[in-house]
Amino acid sequence: MLPIMKHLPIILLCLISFLSSAQKQITSQPQIWFKYYLKIPINPQWQIRQEIDDRNFINPARQSQFLERTHLQRNLGKGWITSLGFTYSEVATPADPNIKSYSNIRELRPSLEIGHLNKLNEKWNLHQRVWNEFRFFQQNDKSYLYSNMRLRYKIETHFKLSSLLSFFAFEELHINLGKNIVFNTFDQNRFGIGCEISPIKNIGFEFTYINWFQQRSSGNEYFNRNIFRLALNHTLMLRKRKPVEN
């Protein structure tokens, strides 16, 4: 069990107490996300993961965020993995789809990850993951300045009904850490449920509903986003090279 699991109930109770006592201003924003998720196994120990996300407001329609993420993953054995990652993000601001004139806040995020996959039986598994992101935001002179660290904990269960169809559900908590964080130590919580259809080998089409509840830096303003995500999951198997003949 990951160490954070021991303290997770206390963290959740504190967050529930805080959120229920605060005077909240909640903004609801429906969104639709399009995602391409590529995995490239190099060998049994190493794997490259690449994600491209295009996140959009629905009513009215315009882009909310573009995100590109790359991970180099190392399999440690017994279900454990670790990885180094790097993310490039552009977030449209202000975060109001009714405002057509907006600018993009650019961000770089190096990250560290550790995860564990527990296969409960042939059909069920339980996956836990901890990410530690280091957030650098672009300044007016185009340089990037470190802002804060964000800790992300995700737990996900996955049920494989058949080789063609599987279902999953997950919960992910984001915590901000650093001297620049004043009111929003709790960043956001995401809950999701969905299914994946795999009609072709190494290709999966994912349909997911996500509820995103996020505290803004003011402390009393929140986003409640109902999100529908369409994703293409692709595993690219590298061909084995033939031995070179002398």
Domain-located, residue 241: no
Domain-located, residue 98: yes
Q: How far apart are CA 163 and CA 180, in angstroms?
A: 47
Does the structure show a pLDDT above 50 at 246? no
Domain-located, residue 40: yes
Domain-located, residue 145: yes
Please state, as a whole number, how many other Cβ atoms lie within 10 Å of the Cβ of residue 189. 17
Tokens representing 4? 């954070």
How many domains does one find in the chain?
1
Average pLDDT, the chain: 90
Is residue 220 very low, low, confident or very high in pLDDT (cuts 50, 70, 90)? confident
- Write out pLDDT tens, residues 122-161: 999 999 999 999 999 999 999 999 999 999 999 999 999 9
Please state, as a whole number, how many other Cβ atoms lie within 10 Å of the Cβ of residue 121. 7
CA proximity to 91, closest of 55, 141, 58: 55
Domain-located, residue 147: yes
Q: What is the CATH number of the domain that holds 212?
A: 2.40.160.40
User: Is 148 in a helix, a strand, or coil?
Assistant: strand
Q: How far apart are CA 111 and CA 71, in angstroms?
A: 9
Domain that residue 68 falls in? 4-235
Domain-located, residue 208: yes
CA 40-191-209 angle, 5° bins = 75
Domain-located, residue 212: yes
Is residue 24 very low, low, confident or very high in pLDDT (cuts 50, 70, 90)? confident
Domain-located, residue 159: yes
Q: What number of residues does the chain have?
A: 246
Structure pTM?
0.87
Does the structure show a pLDDT above 70 at 119? yes
- What pLDDT, on a 0 to 100 scale, did the predictor assign at position 243? 46
Does the structure show a pLDDT above 90 at 182? no
Question: Going by C-beta distance under 8 Å and a sequence separation of 6 or more, which residues neighbour residue 137?
Answer: 105, 106, 107, 144, 145, 147
Q: How far apart are CA 95 and CA 54, in angstroms?
A: 15
- What pLDDT, on a 0 to 100 scale, did the predictor assign at position 94? 92
Does the structure show a pLDDT above 60 at 25? yes
Q: What is the arithmetic mean of pLDDT over 15-33?
A: 74
